[in-house]
A and B are shown apart, each in its own frame.
Chain A
């Protein structure tokens, strides 16, 4: 209810972060080894934790499965919400119109989701939760090229409509070369 932590420190950090990672943008960070990816991922999470801003960060990671096997995709997306809370939001309408063509998706149980659906559930969940930063660890590297292409197309179409920056850690050089404008040579805030 009350937050007595200094807001000045938070605001300074948010400002600093947004200079490095502006809103409505997609960032690709090349991580040649899993160890590098883990280091960057942990560094960013700790930064937010240190500034008491974990609520602003959404994590999509391959290390920790965040899909509940016994809930439908829809229930998995809405895990932290009431129907009434999201029903009339623009974002939800967008999901519905995008995904309605594949109606079964919403009803599919978590344990039966394909890797792509798995990813979408996590992504949409974070968007609905209003996360300002979404970090995706090397999860995309494990997916087939066609699936990654679909995901990137989805990012392109949605990124301008949301108030979020998306950071993808990847060891896929082709992905980096295909999106030079979004690629970062050196990850900000990470000490060597």
Chain B
């Protein structure tokens, strides 16, 4: 348990480093979760669109007749792909920032590392402790961010929905955007004919653009992403801290007794 005590004492002592890393971690968590949730919105919208399309057009005959249908599928898929790419970029950015911060911090803490070494600590144990510091900080920030997001889930989800809508609208081609903005235009006549036998007031406009409006407003429905970002982020933080620490401590061990 002594190591836990040392980890927190060190984090408190190196407040600036911990603060900077804490802000980076918090940004990563909020942006990463937002990406994953928006991707989920798009996936749900696409699934809904395809299910609805499948129900009314079992032989997919209309998809070839109405290019707008194919374009909508493409917009959802592109948005999902973009969110996935942004998430991967975020993971790499986190790894890079942690790596640079670790290297700077290790050089800054050279005398402390020497102190541990002179006190008889193995260089792998010193590196392990350093990595544990960063992982402990990541976990701490994770729990703070998750708690805050759960407390503020209504405005957070509303914001994500607005962003999702904005992204969807911005990705529409000029023709589709015109169609979206004029739900009663004459152009809808052909598509709405598909629904002429339906009892419900469902129409072509709802089919094309309705899916993007439907998303869960409960953050807890996306709990799988919390777990995903926790283990991915945690592993990245550990690896990006442990490896440079191991190399630097090995180097110190070689030079310390010179």
Contacts and interface: CB of A to CB of B under 8 A. Distances in A.
Interface of A: 42, 45-46, 49, 54-55, 59, 61, 64-71, 75-76, 78-80, 82-83, 125, 129
Chain A interface main SS type: loop
Contact of A70 (B12, B116, B120, B258): B12
B23 interface: no
A71 B116 contact: no
Contacts, number: 52
Given A54-B257, A66-B114, A75 B13 contact: no
B118 interface: yes
Interface stretch (B2-10, B39-47, B99-107, B139-147): B2-10
B112 interface: yes
B111 interface: yes
Interface of B: 2, 5-6, 9-10, 12-13, 111-112, 114-116, 118-121, 256-258
Given A42-B258, A54-B257, A82-B2, A70 B118 contact: no
Contacts of A78: 2
Looking at B6, B115, B257, the one whose CB has the most chain A CB atoms below 10 A away is B115
Contacts of B258: 42
Nearest to A63: B114
A67 B114 CA distance: 9
A64 B116 CA distance: 11
Contact of B10 (A59, A64, A70, A76): A70
24 contacts: A42-B258, A54-B257, A61-B118, A64-B115, A65-B111, A65-B114, A65-B115, A66-B114, A66-B115, A66-B118, A67-B115, A68-B112, A69-B13, A70-B9, A70-B10, A70-B12, A71-B6, A75-B2, A75-B6, A80-B120, A80-B121, A83-B2, A125-B119, A129-B119
